[in-house]
Structure 1
Amino acid sequence: MTRSGPGPASATRPTASPTTRAVPPECEGLTPPDADTYRDRIEIAGELGERYEEILTPAALDFLALLHARFAYRRCEVLGARQARRAKIAGGANPHFDPATEHIRTDPTWRVAPPAPGLVDRRVEITGPTDRKMAINALNSGAKVWLADQEDATSPTWSGVVEGQLTLRDFLRGDLEYTSPEGKEYRVTVPAEQTPTIVMRPRGWHLVEKHLVHLDADGVRRPASGSLVDFGLYAFHNARALVDAGRGPYFYLPKLESPAEARLWNDVFVLAQEELGLPRGTIRATVLIETIHAAFCMEEILYELREHCSGLNAGRWDYLFSIIKTFRDRGGRWILPDRSALTMTVPFMRAYTELLVQTCHKRGAMAIGGMSAFIPNRRDPEATARALAAVAADKRREAGDGFDGTWVAHPDLIETARAELDAVLGDRPNQLDRQRPDVHVGASDLLSLDCPGAITDAGVRANTSVALRYLAAWLGGLGAVAIDGLMEDAATAEISRSQLWQWRTQGCTTAEGTLVDDAHLDAVLDDVLAALPRTDGDRLDDAARLMRELVHAEDFPSFLTLPAYSRYLA
């Protein structure tokens, strides 16, 4: 996997500078790349299952090695910047609109690239993991777009990572099928031109893939970047087939916090296109605005990605998690009530979504709405009716606010969501021409966290139950789980455990007068665990151990997936 030769102009050597920023362990000692020589390699450390060699080919590993040679150091730089940002927040600073980039926000002349083939009409997008059964259901669903999720809706087991890539590769070659253990057969039955456009979501910059090892130019072994692995394998194997099919290699980018992180992705795209022989701008990305920091630099993120950008998505659940995490050490108005009270109509969430639509349409980008967590239950008509009503109201609000499309997590919700978008769009594919001069959102609006609701005993128990059951499913290989009529993924589990941590460390008391302390959280966890049905091989005990560590930790674990992955999946 050794590659030598001059590097592309887009991947010039970054300026090295001393830094005291805290970085993940795999970043220690990493140096800027040599612009003239590639000596990096990627080695396989995981077991090879059936057909894994079709994905982990020597040429694909060489491509991953090139991406790591060029961008591993810069990945560590942006992760270090996150830690520096966190230190400023802990010191009392608030996120703000950066005066240094005001010229980007006030320049009326620039636009992002026009909508790419297959992304002109995105009115309903279905999200879901890339296992074969769920993929086939999504491809048969009638949605305009399928978010093929290798991130929050996927447990990053080694088999999940590689077999998800096999799923996508097989579909694009007409070979995707699945037979369940019960003998039920699944196949893509709709014509190829009517299947949803695939937009693949790789893992965030903070995650690693320990089953692939990056050997840098000095021979130091480090786990590979989950982002570069997911992106690189999908682009390498499928970019040409996607273009030939009249669409393209499209991506959702998660967890971004800054323009520098968007610039890093843009440079990854430029290098990948040069290596794969694709015209510049073929790759397109939709960025999830799911951190409070990204909300303050949406225009700058669009600007950095403008030749490769398709739009922004309002990632509501991760956004709420980001707010809790960012202000976790502050009391008073910074402490949010029960998750059930945190609807999209509370003022700070309205400000965030209205600013997103205004920003997108100002720059010619699509604004894609988020996912209502309600899901139907085919065995419970009343529950289904409640879910459909809630989803209809949610999508009606988004369409009225100017969103060009929206997410659903279940095929049975597509018709309901489409009806609300159709009522506003009519025959138009989107509403990019709709500006929002009536929107005036400032920093105080984004940071005004006062909202109705309380911390309750029921809220403590609900958070405990959701986080525990989700973690058990995640450790067992499932990344998206239906719990109590809601579709839960890593983001909603993050909300649950982070609220418990904050309520404990800030000495909160519930509306019923219960102090949320260590003893109470342990008692609730024990009670919830005892009430759950058990099966052979379930991961509830492992999940309970993780839960105790997460909510009792002195220092807040930045993502629950980091200790869970290192301890159980790697």
Structure 2
Amino acid sequence: MAVPKERVVTQPARIEGQTGPGHDRILTPEALVFLAGLHRRFDTRRLALLAARRERQARYDAGALPDFRADTAEIRSGKWTVARIPAALQDRRVEITGPVERKMIINALNSGAKVFMADFEDSSAPTFANQLDGQINLRDAVNGNIEFTSPEGKQYRISGNPAVLVVRPRGWHLPERHITVDGEPMAGALVDFGLYAFHNARTLQARDRGPYFYLPKMEAMEEAALWDDVMSAAEDELGLPSGCMKATVLIETLPAVFQMHEILHALRNRAVGLNCGRWDYIFSYLKTLRGHRDRLLPERGQVLMTVPFLKAYSELLIQTCHRRGAFAMGGMAAQIPIKGDEVANEAAMAKVRADKLREVQAGHDGTWVAHPALVPVAQEIFDKYMPSPNQLNVERADVKVTRDQLIAPCSGSISRAGFDNNVEVALRYTASWLDGQGCVPIHHLMEDAATAEIARAQLWQWLHHGSVEFTDHAPINFALFDHALVTHTHRLRESGLPGAARADEAAALLASLTHADQLGDFLTLPAYDRLA
């Protein structure tokens, strides 16, 4: 194995937040020097790419529409493939995702899934304690000594053949204000990636287990190229073989769907696949086209993967990946088991089976679930229809997708119940997030930041474009929104449910974002300032 190169002594990153037990073993002097190096080398470039996002969105707000890039046509037409995919990632038929909480990590690794995506992003509320505890938990999981004892005395340990560990750091847009370099807050992405790589990369590489990452929220190939350079720098600094860090990219923004070949090309020495991040993708559709009255979407429950613009997106992703020798991963099944109601539970599981059948028959190489009980449900479908480890041989030459198909709105309606559900989900999730919980079961669905973003973006869209009606032709207006918000805030405050203590604060934030003249880019940005 390569020997870590001798580091030049430099001023380390500075800790601005309150730390707890064990955090000093993560925030070591050497790790803080490593983080500072990443920040000084890459943060100016990251900020420039975020500025490019804002400029691009301003063009969309002024009437332009996303499209394939003319300057990268040669990449799309060229004959190239990604590098060899490691043996540990050749079979990814079922992946489970969840926050970096200790019990969750153990249960996910023991779930029978092929891969566990440990999430520092949408299913985690990034309190400083949560992020650092998550790093401790992942270090212990990598070292094989992670254990947990519940308040009732039940013990949890990793057993059997655990899932392959893949880590999702935060997106490029999210800050980590508790760690600064030269007086500037670090990027949450560089903190999550940097600490995990510093403490675990050598151990994982020695076992031929990566390290492996899921990369979220990107909009352009230049953002992927930044990740490639960050990983190359980390490999060099830690004395690791070039290209040992592998990445799967979530295609969960509308601009990114027009650059899938380019994103894979930018990461071609380490890319292993793309993922249909369906919920964030729907949110990105709403946000990107927020200024276009003719692109309104119906209520969330009607925007399924079978509607034309989502079907086009998923099939183009499969075709793109398989042409380049990369895996095409399916989307999340958000259902969770419904205890005590066999009829309702079977109806929920039937939806999961139908969704996974659609994915495997379309050519996906694997799929996501949010709960361990769904692993065997999804696996049964993929085992039956995909007996080989993957479906790279399914080329989908029949797929012919145009720009207009990728941005076509879908037909549908808005019911009073759908409107009310958006208010409730956005409020309850925001309150739970402010209380430090980033993955929240609501009405038998596992909601995370992406689904809350859809809910609040749709509310803004329906209320600000005018002349939008319910199915009974009554107008949708702010009086209805304000009344629903007051009603649900009172219910949450009195319920004792997660987030009850932050109900009023969450309501004020949601009201501000919904009444604002422009749809805010991310709920989590203004909410972050209110976290511990």
- Say whether residues 1:250 and 2:220 are aligned partners: no
Q: Which runs of 4+ in 1 moved over 4 A?
A: 37-40
Letter in 2 for 1:553: A
* Aligned-pair identity (%): 51
- Per the TM alignment, residue 189 of structure 1 is displaced from its structure 2 partner at its CA by 2.3
- Per the TM alignment, residue 48 of structure 1 is displaced from its structure 2 partner at its CA by 1.7
Q: Contact 1:339 / 1:459 at 8 angstroms: preserved in 2?
A: yes
Q: Which residue of 1 aligns with 2:428?
A: 469
For 1:440, which of 400, 406, 410 is the aligned residue? 400
- Say whether residues 1:374 and 2:335 are aligned partners: yes
- Say whether residues 1:86 and 2:65 are aligned partners: no
- Say whether residues 1:352 and 2:323 are aligned partners: no
Q: Which residue of 1 aligns with 2:28?
A: 57
String of CA shifts for 1:518-556, please: whole Å, max 9, x gaps.
Answer: 222101111222333433962111111111111111222
For 1:510, which of 470, 473, 481 is the aligned residue? 470
Q: Contact 2:10 / 2:33 at 8 angstroms: preserved in 1?
A: no
Supply the distance in 2 between the matched residues of 1:173 and 1:317 (Cα, whole angstroms).
33
Q: How does 1:99-114 map to 2 (within 5 A)?
A: 99-108=70-79, 110-114=80-84
- Per the TM alignment, residue 481 of structure 1 is displaced from its structure 2 partner at its CA by 1.0
- Say whether residues 1:401 and 2:362 are aligned partners: yes
Q: Which residue of 1 aligns with 2:155?
A: 185
For 1:430, which of 371, 374, 390 is the aligned residue? 390
Supply the distance in 1 between the matched residues of 2:370 and 2:461 (Cα, whole angstroms).
29
Q: Which residue of 1 aligns with 2:451?
A: 492
Letter in 1 for 2:475: L
TM-score (norm 2): 0.96
Supply the distance in 2 between the matched residues of 1:489 and 1:283 (Cα, whole angstroms).
27
Q: Which residue of 2 aligns with 1:261?
A: 223
For 2:265, which of 268, 292, 303 is the aligned residue? 303
SS in 2 for 1:306: coil
For 1:363, which of 324, 333, 341 is the aligned residue? 324
- Say whether residues 1:524 and 2:470 are aligned partners: no
Letter in 2 for 1:382: V
Supply the distance in 1 between the matched residues of 2:513 and 2:333 (Cα, whole angstroms).
26
Number of aligned residue pairs: give it.
Answer: 524
Supply the distance in 1 between the matched residues of 2:84 and 2:448 (Cα, whole angstroms).
32
Q: Contact 2:120 / 2:168 at 8 angstroms: preserved in 1?
A: yes
String of CA shifts for 1:431-472, please: whole Å, max 9, x gaps.
Answer: 1121111000010110111x2310221111010001111111
Q: Which residue of 1 aligns with 2:501?
A: 538
- Say whether residues 1:205 and 2:172 are aligned partners: yes
Structure 1 residues 54 and 6: alpha-carbon distance in aligned structure 2, compared to 1, 3 A threshold:
closer
Q: Which residue of 2 aligns with 1:341?
A: 302
String of CA shifts for 1:221-241, please: whole Å, max 9, x gaps.
Answer: 111100000000001100111
Q: Which residue of 2 aligns with 1:124?
A: 94
- Which deviates the most, 142-151 or 476-485? 476-485
Q: Contact 2:62 / 2:291 at 8 angstroms: preserved in 1?
A: no
Letter in 2 for 1:376: P
For the aligned residues, what is the CA RMSD?
1.6
Q: Contact 2:179 / 2:186 at 8 angstroms: preserved in 1?
A: yes
Structure 1 residues 38 and 112: alpha-carbon distance in aligned structure 2, compared to 1, 3 A threshold:
farther
Q: Which residue of 2 aligns with 1:96?
A: 67
Structure 1 residues 156 and 530: alpha-carbon distance in aligned structure 2, compared to 1, 3 A threshold:
same
- Say whether residues 1:452 and 2:411 are aligned partners: yes
Q: Contact 1:314 / 1:353 at 8 angstroms: preserved in 2?
A: yes
- Per the TM alignment, residue 40 of structure 1 is displaced from its structure 2 partner at its CA by 5.5
Q: Which residue of 2 aligns with 1:559?
A: 522
Supply the distance in 2 between the matched residues of 1:519 and 1:318 (Cα, whole angstroms).
28
Supply the distance in 1 between the matched residues of 2:43 and 2:506 (Cα, whole angstroms).
32
Q: Which residue of 2 aligns with 1:323?
A: 285
Q: Contact 1:373 / 1:486 at 8 angstroms: preserved in 2?
A: yes
Supply the distance in 2 between the matched residues of 1:84 and 1:421 (Cα, whole angstroms).
42
SS in 2 for 1:558: coil
Q: Which residue of 1 aligns with 2:511?
A: 548
- Which deviates the most, 553-562 or 290-299? 553-562
String of CA shifts for 1:261-314, please: whole Å, max 9, x gaps.
Answer: 000000001101001111111000000000000000000000000001010000
- Per the TM alignment, residue 179 of structure 1 is displaced from its structure 2 partner at its CA by 1.5
Q: Which residue of 2 aligns with 1:160?
A: 130
Q: Contact 1:75 / 1:205 at 8 angstroms: preserved in 2?
A: yes
SS in 1 for 2:384: helix
Supply the distance in 2 between the matched residues of 1:250 and 1:189 (Cα, whole angstroms).
21
Supply the distance in 2 between the matched residues of 1:530 and 1:368 (Cα, whole angstroms).
41
String of CA shifts for 1:373-411, please: whole Å, max 9, x gaps.
Answer: 222123332222112110000000000010000000011
- Per the TM alignment, residue 6 of structure 1 is displaced from its structure 2 partner at its CA by 12
Supply the distance in 1 between the matched residues of 2:496 and 2:422 (Cα, whole angstroms).
22
Stretches of structure 2 lacking an aligned partner (at least 5 in a row)? none
Q: Which residue of 2 aligns with 1:385?
A: 346
Q: Contact 1:38 / 1:66 at 8 angstroms: preserved in 2?
A: no
String of CA shifts for 1:58-94, please: whole Å, max 9, x gaps.
Answer: 1111110010011000000100000010011111111
Stretches of structure 1 lacking an aligned partner (at least 5 in a row)? 8-36, 216-220
TM-score (norm 1): 0.90
- Say whether residues 1:139 and 2:99 are aligned partners: no
Supply the distance in 2 between the matched residues of 1:410 and 1:165 (Cα, whole angstroms).
22
Q: Contact 2:19 / 2:129 at 8 angstroms: preserved in 1?
A: no
Supply the distance in 2 between the matched residues of 1:443 and 1:429 (Cα, whole angstroms).
32
- Per the TM alignment, residue 557 of structure 1 is displaced from its structure 2 partner at its CA by 1.4
Q: Which residue of 2 aligns with 1:10?
A: none
